Protein backbone atom coordinates (compact mmCIF):
# COMPACT_ATOMS: atom_id res chain seq x y z
CA UNK A 1 0.00 0.00 0.00
CA UNK A 2 1.29 3.45 -0.81
CA UNK A 3 1.57 6.01 1.87
CA UNK A 4 -1.73 7.80 2.52
CA UNK A 5 -1.74 11.53 2.54
CA UNK A 6 -3.69 12.21 5.67
CA UNK A 7 -3.60 14.97 8.17
CA UNK A 8 -1.23 14.44 11.07
CA UNK A 9 -2.89 12.77 14.02
CA UNK A 10 -2.69 13.76 17.65
CA UNK A 11 -4.77 12.55 20.58
CA UNK A 12 -7.26 15.14 21.77
CA UNK A 13 -6.89 16.41 25.31
CA UNK A 14 -9.54 14.07 26.71
CA UNK A 15 -8.17 11.09 24.81
CA UNK A 16 -4.67 11.92 25.92
CA UNK A 17 -5.70 11.53 29.55
CA UNK A 18 -7.56 8.35 28.71
CA UNK A 19 -4.58 6.93 26.83
CA UNK A 20 -2.32 7.58 29.79
CA UNK A 21 -4.74 5.71 32.05
CA UNK A 22 -4.88 2.78 29.65
CA UNK A 23 -1.10 2.52 29.33
CA UNK A 24 -0.80 2.65 33.12
CA UNK A 25 -2.76 -0.63 33.35
CA UNK A 26 0.20 -2.56 31.96
CA UNK A 27 3.57 -3.24 33.56
CA UNK A 28 6.42 -0.89 32.71
CA UNK A 29 8.15 -1.77 29.46
CA UNK A 30 5.06 -3.69 28.31
CA UNK A 31 3.22 -0.61 27.11
CA UNK A 32 2.80 -2.23 23.68
CA UNK A 33 0.02 -4.31 25.24
CA UNK A 34 -2.15 -1.21 25.09
CA UNK A 35 -2.16 -1.21 21.31
CA UNK A 36 -5.76 -2.45 20.92
CA UNK A 37 -7.47 0.03 23.26
CA UNK A 38 -5.35 2.87 21.90
CA UNK A 39 -6.18 2.03 18.30
CA UNK A 40 -9.84 1.97 19.33
CA UNK A 41 -9.46 5.38 20.90
CA UNK A 42 -7.77 6.67 17.77
CA UNK A 43 -10.47 5.20 15.56
CA UNK A 44 -13.19 6.90 17.58
CA UNK A 45 -11.39 10.20 17.42
CA UNK A 46 -10.89 10.02 13.66
CA UNK A 47 -14.55 9.42 12.94
CA UNK A 48 -14.80 5.67 12.90
CA UNK A 49 -11.74 4.77 10.86
CA UNK A 50 -7.97 4.54 11.27
CA UNK A 51 -5.88 6.69 8.97
CA UNK A 52 -2.22 5.70 8.60
CA UNK A 53 -1.21 8.80 10.50
CA UNK A 54 -3.21 7.57 13.50
CA UNK A 55 -1.56 4.13 13.38
CA UNK A 56 1.87 5.73 13.15
CA UNK A 57 0.98 7.98 16.05
CA UNK A 58 -0.04 5.01 18.19
CA UNK A 59 3.19 3.21 17.24
CA UNK A 60 5.23 6.18 18.32
CA UNK A 61 3.13 6.63 21.45
CA UNK A 62 3.77 3.03 22.51
CA UNK A 63 7.38 2.95 21.27
CA UNK A 64 6.76 0.01 19.00
CA UNK A 65 7.65 -0.51 15.32
CA UNK A 66 5.01 0.82 12.94
CA UNK A 67 4.63 -2.53 11.21
CA UNK A 68 3.59 -4.17 14.50
CA UNK A 69 0.69 -1.71 14.72
CA UNK A 70 -0.26 -2.26 11.09
CA UNK A 71 -0.29 -6.02 11.76
CA UNK A 72 -2.76 -5.59 14.61
CA UNK A 73 -4.94 -3.05 12.83
CA UNK A 74 -5.22 -5.18 9.68
CA UNK A 75 -5.91 -8.37 11.63
CA UNK A 76 -8.97 -7.15 13.50
CA UNK A 77 -12.01 -6.52 11.33
CA UNK A 78 -13.43 -3.94 13.73
CA UNK A 79 -10.69 -1.53 12.76
CA UNK A 80 -11.71 0.28 9.60
CA UNK A 81 -8.81 1.21 7.39
CA UNK A 82 -10.92 3.25 4.99
CA UNK A 83 -13.26 6.12 5.84
CA UNK A 84 -16.79 5.03 6.87
CA UNK A 85 -20.08 6.88 7.09
CA UNK A 86 -21.47 8.45 10.26
CA UNK A 87 -23.50 5.30 10.91
CA UNK A 88 -21.71 2.02 10.28
CA UNK A 89 -24.52 -0.47 9.66
CA UNK A 90 -23.24 -3.98 10.31
CA UNK A 91 -25.82 -6.54 9.22
CA UNK A 92 -25.32 -10.01 10.62
CA UNK A 93 -25.82 -12.62 7.90
CA UNK A 94 -24.65 -15.73 9.70
CA UNK A 95 -27.03 -18.72 9.67
CA UNK A 96 -29.43 -17.93 12.60
CA UNK A 97 -29.96 -14.33 11.45
CA UNK A 98 -30.18 -15.46 7.86
CA UNK A 99 -32.90 -17.99 8.76
CA UNK A 100 -34.80 -15.21 10.52
CA UNK A 101 -34.65 -12.89 7.52
CA UNK A 102 -31.36 -11.01 7.41
CA UNK A 103 -31.51 -11.28 3.62
CA UNK A 104 -34.52 -8.96 3.68
CA UNK A 105 -32.61 -6.48 5.84
CA UNK A 106 -29.77 -6.43 3.30
CA UNK A 107 -32.35 -5.91 0.55
CA UNK A 108 -33.79 -2.99 2.45
CA UNK A 109 -30.37 -1.37 2.72
CA UNK A 110 -29.91 -1.79 -1.00
CA UNK A 111 -33.34 -0.33 -1.77
CA UNK A 112 -33.47 2.42 0.78
CA UNK A 113 -29.87 3.58 0.91
CA UNK A 114 -28.90 2.63 -2.64
CA UNK A 115 -25.61 1.01 -1.66
CA UNK A 116 -24.19 -2.49 -1.88
CA UNK A 117 -22.41 -4.07 1.06
CA UNK A 118 -19.09 -2.39 1.75
CA UNK A 119 -20.23 0.89 0.24
CA UNK A 120 -20.94 4.29 1.73
CA UNK A 121 -23.87 6.52 0.75
CA UNK A 122 -22.83 9.59 -1.24
CA UNK A 123 -23.84 11.88 1.64
CA UNK A 124 -21.51 9.99 3.95
CA UNK A 125 -24.20 9.10 6.45
CA UNK A 126 -24.38 5.32 6.09
CA UNK A 127 -21.88 2.59 5.40
CA UNK A 128 -23.35 -0.89 5.07
CA UNK A 129 -21.25 -3.95 5.79
CA UNK A 130 -22.00 -7.61 6.18
CA UNK A 131 -20.60 -9.20 9.34
CA UNK A 132 -20.38 -12.65 10.83
CA UNK A 133 -22.15 -13.69 14.04
CA UNK A 134 -22.21 -11.01 16.73
CA UNK A 135 -23.56 -13.35 19.37
CA UNK A 136 -27.16 -12.15 19.56
CA UNK A 137 -28.66 -15.11 17.73
CA UNK A 138 -31.44 -15.50 20.27
CA UNK A 139 -32.88 -12.18 19.09
CA UNK A 140 -32.17 -12.76 15.42
CA UNK A 141 -32.13 -11.05 13.04
CA UNK A 142 -29.94 -8.28 14.33
CA UNK A 143 -27.91 -5.34 13.12
CA UNK A 144 -25.16 -3.42 14.85
CA UNK A 145 -25.01 0.29 14.12
CA UNK A 146 -21.85 1.87 15.48
CA UNK A 147 -21.70 0.58 19.08
CA UNK A 148 -25.35 -0.46 19.51
CA UNK A 149 -27.24 -3.67 18.84
CA UNK A 150 -30.70 -3.58 17.23
CA UNK A 151 -32.40 -6.95 17.64
CA UNK A 152 -35.65 -8.76 16.78
CA UNK A 153 -35.81 -6.72 13.61
CA UNK A 154 -38.52 -6.86 11.04
CA UNK A 155 -38.10 -5.04 7.76
CA UNK A 156 -40.51 -2.35 9.00
CA UNK A 157 -38.70 -1.90 12.31
CA UNK A 158 -35.32 -1.64 10.54
CA UNK A 159 -36.82 0.80 8.04
CA UNK A 160 -37.96 2.96 10.96
CA UNK A 161 -34.51 2.90 12.50
CA UNK A 162 -32.85 3.95 9.26
CA UNK A 163 -35.52 6.63 8.77
CA UNK A 164 -34.89 8.07 12.24
CA UNK A 165 -31.15 7.96 11.84
CA UNK A 166 -31.39 9.81 8.54
CA UNK A 167 -33.52 12.44 10.25
CA UNK A 168 -30.98 12.68 13.02
CA UNK A 169 -33.43 11.52 15.69
CA UNK A 170 -32.48 9.28 18.59
CA UNK A 171 -33.28 5.63 18.12
CA UNK A 172 -34.24 3.03 20.66
CA UNK A 173 -31.54 0.40 20.89
CA UNK A 174 -31.99 -3.27 21.78
CA UNK A 175 -34.95 -5.44 20.86
CA UNK A 176 -37.51 -3.95 18.51
CA UNK A 177 -40.12 -6.00 20.35
CA UNK A 178 -39.08 -4.58 23.68
CA UNK A 179 -37.93 -7.94 24.99
CA UNK A 180 -35.56 -8.07 27.94
CA UNK A 181 -33.38 -11.06 28.82
CA UNK A 182 -34.69 -13.04 25.86
CA UNK A 183 -37.99 -14.39 27.28
CA UNK A 184 -40.00 -17.00 25.40
CA UNK A 185 -42.06 -15.44 22.60
CA UNK A 186 -45.76 -16.36 22.73
CA UNK A 187 -47.04 -18.40 19.86
CA UNK A 188 -43.63 -19.56 18.67
Partner 1 sequence: MPKMIINNQEFEFEPGMTILQVAEQAGVEVPVFCYHPKLSIAGNCRMCLVEVEKSPKPVASCSMPAVEGMVVHTNTPSVEKARKGVLEFLLINHPLDCPICDQGGECDLQDITMQYGPSTSRFEENKRAVADKNFGPLIKTHMTRCIHCTRCVRFADEIAGVPELGGTGRGEHMEIGTYVEKAISSELSGNMVDICPVGALTSRPYAFKGRSWELTSTESIDVHDALGANIRVDSRTGEVMRILPIRNDAVNEEWLADKSRYSYDGLKRQRLDRPYLRNAKGQLEEVSWEKAFEATALKLKASKPEKIAALVGDLVDVESMFTLKKLFQGLKIPNYDCRLDGSSYPVSPAFKGDFTFNTGMLGIEEQADVCLIIGCALRTDAPLVNARLRKRYLSHGLQVAHVGVPFESTFPLDHLGDEASLLADILEGKHPFSKVLKKAKYPMIIIGNEALTRPDGGELHAMAKAIAAQYNMVREGWNGFNVLHSAASRMGGLLMGFIPENGALPTKDILAKAEKGELDVLYLLGADELPETCLEKPFVIYQGHHGEVGAMHADVIFPGAAYTEKDALYVNIEGRVQQANRAIFPPHEAKDDWKIIRALSDYVGAGLNFVNLSDVRAALSIENPSFSLLNISQPGPLSTVSKTLPKVGDQKFKPKALSYYMTNVIARHSVTMANCVRDLTGGVHD
- Contact residues: partner 1, CB under 8 A: 1-3, 52, 65-68, 70-71, 74-75, 77
Contact 80/116 with Cβ under 8 angstroms? no
* Least distance (Å) between residue 64 CB and partner 1: 8
Decide whether 72 or 105 has the Cβ nearer to partner 1: 72
Write down the least CB distance from residue 71 to partner 1, Å: 4
CB of 38 to partner 1, least distance (A): 18
To the nearest whole angstrom, how small is the minimum distance from the Cβ of residue 77 to partner 1? Answer: 8
Residue whose CB is less far from partner 1, 64 or 171: 64
Nearer to partner 1, 67 or 138 (CB): 67
Amino acid sequence: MVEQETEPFLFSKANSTLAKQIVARYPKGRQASAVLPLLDLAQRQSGGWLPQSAMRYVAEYLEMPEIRVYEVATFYTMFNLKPVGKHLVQVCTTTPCWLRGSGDLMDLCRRKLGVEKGQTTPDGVFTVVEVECLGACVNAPMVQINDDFYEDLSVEAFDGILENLTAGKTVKTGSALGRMSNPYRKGE
